[in-house]
Amino acid sequence: MNLGNSPTLAPQYMAMIPPVKLSEIQKKYLEDLGKLGKDPDALEIKDRRFQGQAWQNPWSKALVSTYLLNSRYLNELVNAVETDPKTLQRIEFTTQQMIDALSPANFFATNPEALETILQTQGQSLQKGIVNLLGDLGKGKVSQTDESGFEVGQNLAQTEGAVVFRNKLFELIQYKPLTDQVYERPFLMVPPCINKYYILDLQPDNSVVRYMVSQGHTVFMVSWKNADASMNQITWDDYVGQGVLEAIRVTQEISQQDKINILGFCVGGTLVSSSLAVLAARKQEAIASLTLLTTLLDFTDTGILDVFIDESLVKLREKTIGGAEGRYGLLSGLELGNTFSFLRPNELVWNYVVDNYLKGNSPPPFDLLYWNGDSTNLPGPMYCWYLRHTYLQNDLAKPGVLKVCGESVDLTKINCPAYVFASREDHIVPWHSAYQSTQILKGPIRFVMGASGHIAGVINPPHKKKRHYWTNSQLPKKTEQWLKGAKEVAGSWWPDYTEWLAEYGGKKVVAPSQYGGGKYKKLVAAPGTYVKEKAQKV
């Protein structure tokens, strides 16, 4: 994705560094460079990219030390720039991209491990690397996993269920109960439309869906259609009205319950909150509880993604795919995925470049990375609305500024109980920004912060006994105060969540023996058809 114009580091930015500070940095750099010239071991090398035995020869150590020293002082120069915060963020981002790309590990001539592998394999690694490179050029992305090792519905998205409703935007999956009794109120899950839903149902031992079913919930899942050319005029209003609101209505009808519990993940949470604001404006009380996982409602601080977004980029997108001049199109899921990978280039790009191309290895199968590469396209008008009214203008958080489905949107009118979850190391939805939802929503709120990142923080099954999370019943305005008073708890946050959700499930009833009900019948077995559709090239 190109969320914004590619940031560039123009020469004039150097003039923004105060001369005295620039002189200090230059002096210190020359001193450290001189020390390195006299003693190649003057700089301790802790970077994991250069820990292998092949890197321990004097020439490679000198090269790496010089690279690390230059990297350090480039960042010091950036930190010394005096400019506005957004410009500084762009300079920092561009500089780090350049530093990561120029690592000695990324080139044959300066990577002793790659050269050693060529000799050991008598050139076979070079041949395999070229084959891997040509294959990835055809796909338009760097391979992160062995895609032949997975098939949705076979060893991914295996929880038993059935599609009970379908329209042009989504399929609604109902899952088979695993308990004799279930809570009377159903549990509707709305995943992000920029990815496929099975992140919540990867494999049985790490499936959020299976865990919730095992806890006695009748789970329904929205499976968004992978946008194709027929959907290039679909709007945000459509995703709310024909998407989330329709899923709520059908779930109510099938369960014969006036109120349901609903969960939104990432962009799915933003869509759900928009939908609940519409219901609030219509005086319709359909929700017993709301769950937001790594979701932004207040887009004041969007972290690293803010680097890409400005008025010129949004206008360009609106003119080319958003319908501003009668031109409609799709945002490529491949473009979106590549951009997210370059938010963490060393982990998600360059290490695979080195391993796949320079060393001729094939990446092992990994379910999470397969899902990460299973891209989805987005309708241009929907995407452009989302960019302008959230990331660029933060209109969604401003009561009464926007109209969605004909209703004035005011998120403060959402007053049902809410469970808000954030991940501490999340680089896509910073936890302190996700926390701001607690200052917007007006019902009783429980905020929980998990360890790790955007996905790993969420997908943390209890039986693995990994990580930890923080809780604090107080919700002060400042995140620092919340964290200061928070209690750290070992293990997964899932049990904490299911204990909270049980309060809003209603009484226990006999588990349904069939899918759907009334006019809603089983259409096809889960995982359905939409999730298997591959993104068409844009």
> Annotated catalytic sites, by residue?
266
What is the three-state SS of 441-472?
CCCCEEEEEECCCCCCCCCCCHHHCCCEEEEC
Angstrom distance (rounded) from CA 29 to CA 26: 5
- The single-letter code of the amino acid at 317 is R
**CA nearest to 74, candidates 51, 48, 96:** 96
Count of residues for the chain?
Answer: 538
What is the gyration radius of the CA atoms in the chain, in angstroms? Answer: 25
SS3 (DSSP) at 419: strand
CA angle 243, 173, 185 (to 5 degrees): 85
Between strands 524-525 and 161-166, the pairing is antiparallel
CB atoms within 10 A of CB 204: 13
Spatial CB neighbours of 42, under 8 Å, sequence gap ≥ 6: 32, 35, 36, 65
CA distance 223 to 190: 8
**Structure token pair of residue 173:** 């999956």
Give the closest residue to 60 by CA, choosing from 111, 21, 134. 111
CA 377/CA 229 separation, integer angstroms: 10
Q: Which two tokens stand for residue 498?
A: 């299911």
Percentages (nearest 5) of helix, strand, coil residues in the chain:
45, 15, 40
